[in-house]
Amino acid sequence: MLVVGLSLASFMVGCLIGFIFTSYGEESGTVGKIRDWLIGGITGITVVKAAAIKGILLTFAAGPGPSEFALTVSSAVLYSVLGFFFMFFQRELILNVLLAESRAERGRLEGTGRAGQVIQRFLLALPASILSGVDDVDEIVQFRKSEAERLRTLLYSAEVQKFLDECEDAVKSGEALDWDVVSKAANLHYYRTYFEKDENKYVQAERAHSWIVRALTMNPLHVDFTVKYADTLGMMDRYEEAVAVLEKLDRTPEAPAYVKQWLGYFLLFVDRLDDAIRYSEEYHKLFPDESDSIFNVASAYAQKYCDELRAAGKSEYLDSENRRLALAKLKEALRGEPEYVETVRSKWTQTGESFDCFLHDKDFRSLVGLPKEPPAAG
């Protein structure tokens, strides 16, 4: 029984030493100090108390002879070594791996949890018309400054920035990220594009695009990210690619209704004006109270009128059906969103924009509140 007790005690001591010598990760600082203390302590005790250690071992011997002492020492050493290697391999092959996974999971959950809360708060702060696709985040940025500032504070908070920085570092180091992390990073970067200044918007769109591509690589059939993918393509002036993505999505039964609205907008940039009108009108039939699609229809007819003038070499053609429809649709859209008149007045009349050939049109100037031009001399 004495030998059994000694063997078990030695085995436990070996396990303890093996546990300390195979500390991992977060344990290395604290446990490393303990390990150094133990090494120094054991060395000192061995030198100073060698006789006392021998006396302890002799208490486990069956008799006073040298063979009993040798058996006791060999048993203590053997089971200590067995305990050490038992714990060493348990830690290296099983426990440390599980600990590493659990710590990584804990860190991931902490970071993604905070990011998820920010996204949830952001979505709760958005009006229902934005979430359904009837209105756009861009409208909040342009016309609801106090709301926009509140949303910007959420998206650019320190906790969100830390989460996104950690995601970028993980990608650079080649770490595998799961769907929860990738989808949150993609959403955060995407919504940030609407709050960036014009000079930084393209760079942010590229960043959002890369994360959305990662998300779609993991889940190619995700409808929301497919639409956001097309939107980032449009932000980077890759309209033909955006149209191809949206038209493919529109042919699927799970396509949301607002895909038609977006097609009505993006088709304005690829010289498919009739298709832009068709998609916009189809969307407006579904949501008759919205105005965005009517602005798109007005832009399409305005572009057709400008093309008509260029082809005929004229500066004005008052009897044009395209002109009449452009002004009528613009008037209808402004009734729904009168605050948008400043955008029409200042941006849509610039060179290359939809209404650039209307700048000197007296009916257009009256509609958008521009002063009358003096009559031409002569």
Distance CA 22, CA 183 (A): 36
Q: Is residue 35 scored above 80 in pLDDT?
A: no
User: Residue 103: its pLDDT value, please?
Assistant: 54
Q: In a 3-state reduction of DSSP, which class is residue 370?
A: coil
> Residues 112, 181: contact at Cβ < 8 Å?
yes
- DSSP per position, 293-357: HHHHHHHHHHHHHHHHHHHHT-S--TT-HHHHHHHHHHHHHHHH-GGGHHHHHHTTTSTTSTTGG
User: Residue 100: its pLDDT value, please?
Assistant: 57
128 compared with 246, residue with greater pLDDT: 246
Q: Is residue 300 scored above 90 in pLDDT?
A: yes
Average pLDDT (293-322) is 95
Mean model confidence pLDDT for the chain = 76
Distance CA 360, CA 223 (A): 43
User: Residue 129: its pLDDT value, please?
Assistant: 46
Average pLDDT (66-87) is 59
User: Residue 31: its pLDDT value, please?
Assistant: 46
Q: Is residue 242 scored above 70 in pLDDT?
A: yes
User: Residue 166: its pLDDT value, please?
Assistant: 83
Q: Is residue 277 scored above 90 in pLDDT?
A: yes
151 compared with 180, residue with greater pLDDT: 180
Average pLDDT (58-73) is 53
User: Residue 150: its pLDDT value, please?
Assistant: 75
User: Residue 40: its pLDDT value, please?
Assistant: 44
Distance CA 305, CA 355 (A): 9
pTM of the model: 0.65
Distance CA 67, CA 331 (A): 110
pLDDT in tens, 81-130: 666 666 655 665 565 555 555 555 544 444 445 555 555 655 555 544 44
What is the tally of helices (H) and strands (E) in the chain? 19, 0
pLDDT band, residue 322 (cuts 50/70/90): very high
| CB atoms near residue 359 (< 10 Å) | 16
pLDDT in tens, 160-217: 888 888 888 888 887 778 888 888 888 889 988 888 888 888 999 999 999 999 999 9
Q: Determine whether 157 is exposed, middle or buried from the number of CB atoms within 10 Å of its CB (0-12, 13-18, 19+).
A: middle
User: Residue 217: its pLDDT value, please?
Assistant: 94
Any idea which fold 251-378 has?
1.25.40
Q: Is residue 332 scored above 90 in pLDDT?
A: yes
Handedness of CA 357, 359, 362, 364 (dihedral sign): positive
- Report residue 89: phi and psi, to 5°: -70, -35
pLDDT band, residue 327 (cuts 50/70/90): very high
- Give the start-to-end residue ranges of the domains of the chain: 2-102, 251-378
> Residues 181, 116: contact at Cβ < 8 Å?
no
Q: Is residue 131 scored above 50 in pLDDT?
A: no
Query: Quick one: which of 269, 212, 278 has its CA closest to 243?
Result: 269
147 compared with 267, residue with greater pLDDT: 267
- Taking CA atoms, 365 is separated from 43, 154, 184, 207, 346, in Å, by 95, 40, 46, 40, 12
Q: Determine whether 309 is exposed, middle or buried from the number of CB atoms within 10 Å of its CB (0-12, 13-18, 19+).
A: middle
